[in-house]
Amino acid sequence: MLLQMDSITKKYGEFSANRGIDFSLRAGEVHAIVGENGAGKTTLMRILYGMEQPTSGTIRLNGKEVSFASPLDAIQSGIGMVHQHFMLFPSFTIAENIVIGNEPGAGAVFDRKQAVKTVEELCEKFGMKVDPQAIVSSTAPGVQQRVEILKVLYQGADIIILDEPTGVLTPLEVQELLEAIKQLSKQGKSFILISHKLNEVLDVADRITVLRDGAVTGVVDKHATDAHEISRLMVGRELLELDRKPITPGDKVLEVTDLSLRGTKGKPVLDAVSLSVRAGEIVGVAGISGNGQSELLQLISGLAQPDGGRIAVAGKDVTGKAPRDIRESGLAHIPEDRYVWGANRTATVMDTGLMGHHRRLQKSGLLKLKDIRALVSGWVQKFSIKTGSLETSTQYLSGGNLQKLIVARELEQGTPFLIAAEPTRGVDIGAMETIHGELLKRREEGTGILLVSSELTEILKLSDRVLVMYEGRIAGELSAKEATEEKLGLLMAGGTLQ
Amino acid sequence: MNKWTKLTLPLLQPVAAIIVGLLAGAIAIIIAGGDILETYAEMWKGAFGGMYFFTNTLSRATPIILIGLGAALAFRAGFFNLGAEGQMVFGALCAALVGLYMPGPGWLVCIAALLAGVIAGGLWSVMAGYFDSRFGVNLLISTLLLNYVAVLFAGYLVAYPLKDRSGSAAMAQSEMLDNSVWLPKLISGMPLHVGFVLAVLAALIIFVVLKRTVVGYEIRMLGGNPLFALFGGVKRGPMMIGAMFASGGLAGLGGAVEILGSQYRYIDGALSTADYAWTGIMAALLAGSNPIGTLIAAIFLAALQTGGMGVERNTEVPLEVGDIIQAVLILFISARFTYSFLKRRKENKSDGTAV
């Protein structure tokens, strides 16, 4: 056994993040750790990487007991970690980013040529292609991910920890990454993969450890399990089957005609986009982020103004109107970025939850605090939002819990039209199930929903129709029946369907 | 976080700032060759020693409270209104003009003068708000520069067309108000006037408005995250005009009560040298723009000033000791700003789906 972690326990005051976790890793193995938010995955990895000290428990590397006081110790023992958010210097070249910390050269002189050569050899050896001279900021997320892995390999890692590595990648890049992981494991490298995407885990991992509430609920072999079993181990109960009842769509609740927005570099951000959403229909918008989806939503909700075209919500022309007026015409909006648009960090949970409802829950200008408290605490229960109290400052909510609060707030507006942008970003499986269930319930009640998501599985699961955006245009439309991940992936990458 | 720390934590920084301020003052006293305890005792007596000095402090605090509340209101809405001085001066000037030239019974003239002060200060402030939303003139700069315009214009008026020529003194000042329009004193023979009651009421009203009303909610959200407020349907334009009017109006009222309750005429430079406006802004900053906190901070800062005068009267130590304490306070309050700013930046970095 290459690595053995025995009964690792980590306590923060009263709270146990890890409770007696056993974990092992063989040489050349890909071992995935899955679990919901707060299950203790990241804590365990931080302990292994020397960023945290365990309250009790031992770590053995090749049979010898070790303890890491800092990541430097871990790196020297051959453990490398690629963090969820890339830690690269964007304005430096790939080669410079990879050799940092152990630069070739004599004395104070940095040998750039040698660095490039070293990186080229590294790429050759591990079969991962990058251009060492390219500036990092000009490369795609998939390339940056490879740079992170090469950096870890350059440091001589044999055990590589990947924390949610596919979050920002396109489907094609995900495939390439999984392929690279398989290749490297054949060459003897071992991987610990933290993820919540079960299909990726099942594709690449040899074994899967499932955590729930800081404890191991199962260690399973890839060949002896399926997504169903893993999610049951993660959630601790059976997941409900979502069923999308057939529904006859009603009137148009959103009609966008020839919407255009000029970009800064002459290329249009939105180029004559037309689409509509009917009552009782979920229309999914797929696309690699940065192809105009964010701008489309901002124009529809009045947060920015178009250069051309018309927008009608619930039959009313709202082109050029303020967000307030559009909301009053019948829009609710789960925003893409919860911290920029969705919350006031310094306000209380109750205040953040109140937005949009505050004009309703009043009597001659005075807020009905009792009703508001009842409303928000109802959401806290229904979506099991973990918060100290309603007076807790919003900034102390975890991302997933804040997302649940925002979703509850916007669902509750009771409007005929709803924008759901990345509605389950960063939430765990249990909450995802609740949110998906609620969206479908709204649909049955006759709400028209425009769903924008970078998760193709989510789009395919919920949508009646799927639109694909590519370079500011609608590149294609597929019905729920026609849509598959392959077809969508092709359209998203700028291809066409024969 | 338990309840106790939650209640005491926000107080920690101001209290620490005050302690360090007093220590710095002690050093200044030593340098000036005074006795620390004696000087601070004189300072206490000058501010709170006896009915007269206590009411004198409250009277000095009155315009500071009103101006501080105005600043706090604007800050809460996210508008950095630094034009309190100009707004106060215009409020004072217009109150004096109405008091001098409006016919009618004294009580009516007094109320009209107060209202004139509110409107003058409010409109002067709204003008800067309008420049910002219409032409993109940075509010901080425009409010700051409009101070000079207001102060110099008022100075011109009382130096030439409206100059009091009845007295022998060659001072630039308006005529004296008839004593029928003066704000009544709260206790006869003491400097404290009805303006103080207005200031306390204003603090309570603003406290309730911010906490309990729809408008107050929108103000807080706008100040906390303007994009979130916009997203939720708060209209920035009208909110800005409203907040700037209320903010400037309170500063104008501060100037008006000072004229009608203490000085009874507009004297060029009298309001500026007393530093009411900047002390008010400082009170708002010291209290983190909390209205009740602003009230308390304003009284505290006024006490430092009246206490400093007491020190100068009775010891060899100069008046400026009070200023030194104030200056150190500002430093420590700005340290808090930098600290919370850094904290926010750190949080931004660790955003995302942790765990």
Q: What is the 3-state secondary structure (H, E, C) of B147-185?
A: HHHHHHHHHHHHHCCCCCCCCCCCCCECCCCCCCCCCCE
> What is the average pLDDT score of chain B?
88
C-beta separation of A372 from A399 below 8 A? no
Contacts of B353 in chain A (CB under 8 A): 37, 84, 164, 167, 399-400, 425-426
CA–CA separation, A320 and A338 (whole Å): 24
Domain annotation covers residue B337: no
Minimum-distance CB partner of B228 among A37, A355, A395: A355
Residues 6+ apart with CB under 8 A from B183: B110, B193, B194, B195, B257, B260, B261
- Residues from B in contact with A at Cβ < 8 Å: 1, 212-215, 217-218, 220-221, 224-225, 227-235, 344, 347, 351-355
Closest-CA distance, B264 to chain A, in angstroms, reads 38
A3 has which bridge partners?
A: A25, A61
Q: Does A69 contact chain B (CB < 8 Å)?
A: no
Residues 6+ apart with CB under 8 A from B236: B133, B222, B226, B229, B230
> Is residue B351's pLDDT more than 50?
no
Which band of pLDDT confidence, cut at 50, 70 and 90, is reported for residue B348?
very low
CA–CA separation, A375 and B284 (whole Å): 34
Average pLDDT, integer, range B306-330? 84
Helices B51-76 & B276-286, crossing angle to 10 degrees?
A: 70
Q: In what helix (H) or strand (E) does residue A362 lie, and over which residues does it extend?
A: strand A362-363
- Please report which residue ranges of B174-275 form alpha helices under DSSP H: 195-212, 214-224, 226-231, 236-258, 270-273
Structure confidence at residue B7 (pLDDT): 61
Domain annotation covers residue B6: no
Minimum-distance CB partner of A347 among B214, B221, B354: B221
Contacts of B345 in chain A (CB under 8 A): none
Domain annotation covers residue B245: yes
Percent of chain B with pLDDT over 70: 89
CA–CA separation, A31 and A159 (whole Å): 11
Structure confidence at residue A14 (pLDDT): 75
End-to-end CA distance of chain B, in Å? 21
Domain annotation covers residue B138: yes
Q: Do A328 and B233 touch (CB under 8 A)?
A: yes
Which of A47, A297, A344 to mutate against chain B (most B CBs within 10 Å)? A344
CA–CA separation, A48 and A201 (whole Å): 21
C-beta separation of A489 from A172 below 8 A? yes
Structure confidence at residue B225 (pLDDT): 94
Domain harbouring B259, CATH code:
1.10.3470
Domain annotation covers residue B8: no
Residue in chain A closest to B235 (alpha carbons) equals A324
Residue located via tokens 């209104």: B81
Residue in chain A closest to B233 (alpha carbons) equals A324
> What is the average pLDDT score of chain A?
89
Name all contacts of B144-153 with Cβ < 8 Å and 24+ positions apart.
B144/B82, B144/B83, B146/B83, B146/B86, B147/B82, B147/B83, B147/B85, B147/B86, B147/B89, B147/B277, B148/B86, B149/B86, B150/B85, B150/B86, B150/B87, B150/B89, B150/B90, B150/B124, B151/B85, B151/B86, B151/B89, B151/B272
Strands A448-452 vs A282-286: parallel, antiparallel or unpaired: parallel
Residue in chain B closest to A399 (alpha carbons) equals B353
> Is residue B2's pLDDT more than 80?
no
Structure tokens at A428: 């765990």
Structure confidence at residue B352 (pLDDT): 31
Closest-CA distance, B3 to chain A, in angstroms, reads 11
Domains of chain A, earliest start first? 3-235 (3.40.50.300), 252-492 (3.40.50.300)
Residues 6+ apart with CB under 8 A from A108: none
Q: Do B231 and A342 touch (CB under 8 A)?
A: yes
Residue in chain B closest to A400 (alpha carbons) equals B353
B313: which DSSP letter? H
Residue in chain A closest to B221 (alpha carbons) equals A344
CA–CA separation, B222 and B224 (whole Å): 6
Domain annotation covers residue B19: no
CA–CA separation, B61 and A344 (whole Å): 34
Structure confidence at residue A110 (pLDDT): 87
C-beta separation of A466 from A483 below 8 A? yes
Closest-CA distance, B211 to chain A, in angstroms, reads 9
CA–CA separation, A234 and A246 (whole Å): 31
Q: Do B231 and A346 touch (CB under 8 A)?
A: no
Contacts of A369 in chain B (CB under 8 A): 212
Length of chain B: 355
Contacts of A85 in chain B (CB under 8 A): 352
Closest-CA distance, B239 to chain A, in angstroms, reads 13
Closest-CA distance, A354 to chain B, in angstroms, reads 9
Q: Do A398 and B234 touch (CB under 8 A)?
A: no
Q: Does A13 contact chain B (CB < 8 Å)?
A: no
C-beta separation of A300 from A419 below 8 A? yes
Minimum-distance CB partner of B231 among A43, A303, A345: A303
Structure tokens at A387: 């918060």
Contacts of B218 in chain A (CB under 8 A): 358
Which of B9, B231, B236, B348 to mutate against chain A (most A CBs within 10 Å)? B231
CA–CA separation, A97 and B192 (whole Å): 69
Interface of A with B in 380-439 (CB under 8 A): 388, 395, 398-400, 425-426
Contacts of A324 in chain B (CB under 8 A): 233-235
Structure confidence at residue A9 (pLDDT): 93
Residue in chain B closest to A339 (alpha carbons) equals B228
Domain annotation covers residue B68: yes
- Please report which residue ranges of chain B form alpha helices under DSSP H: 3-31, 36-48, 51-76, 84-101, 106-135, 139-159, 195-212, 214-224, 226-231, 236-258, 270-273, 276-286, 291-314, 320-349
Which band of pLDDT confidence, cut at 50, 70 and 90, is reported for residue B8?
low
Closest-CA distance, A479 to chain B, in angstroms, reads 31
Interface of A with B in 202-261 (CB under 8 A): none
- Residue A36: name the closest of A285, A384, A314 by CA: A384
Residue B160: phi and psi, rounded to 5, are -120, -85
Q: Do A347 and B224 touch (CB under 8 A)?
A: yes
Q: Do B214 and A358 touch (CB under 8 A)?
A: yes
Q: Do B234 and A324 touch (CB under 8 A)?
A: yes
Structure confidence at residue B6 (pLDDT): 60
Contacts of B213 in chain A (CB under 8 A): 362, 365-367
Residues 6+ apart with CB under 8 A from B148: B86
CA–CA separation, B209 and B217 (whole Å): 8
CA–CA separation, B32 and B20 (whole Å): 18
Minimum-distance CB partner of B220 among A40, A327, A347: A347
Residue in chain B closest to A300 (alpha carbons) equals B231
Domain annotation covers residue B17: no
Structure tokens at A218: 């199962």
Q: In what helix (H) or strand (E) does residue A15 lie, and over which residues does it extend?
A: strand A15-25
- Residue A126: name the closest of A191, A71, A65 by CA: A191
DSSP per residue, A218-281:
EEEEGGG--HHHHHHHHHSSPPPPP--------SEEEEEEEEEE--TTSS-SEEEEEEEEETT-
- Tally of structural domains, chain B: 1
In the predicted model, residues of chain A with pLDDT beneath 50 are: none
- State yes or no: ipTM above 0.85: no
Residue A218: phi and psi, rounded to 5, are 175, 145
Structure tokens at B93: 């000037």
Residue in chain B closest to A424 (alpha carbons) equals B353
Which of A86, A331, A339, A340 to mutate against chain B (most B CBs within 10 Å)? A339
Which band of pLDDT confidence, cut at 50, 70 and 90, is reported for residue B350?
very low
Interface of A with B in 147-186 (CB under 8 A): 164, 167
State pTM to two decimals. 0.77
CA–CA separation, A225 and A208 (whole Å): 9
CA–CA separation, A368 and B185 (whole Å): 39
Domain holding B140, by residue range, is 32-323
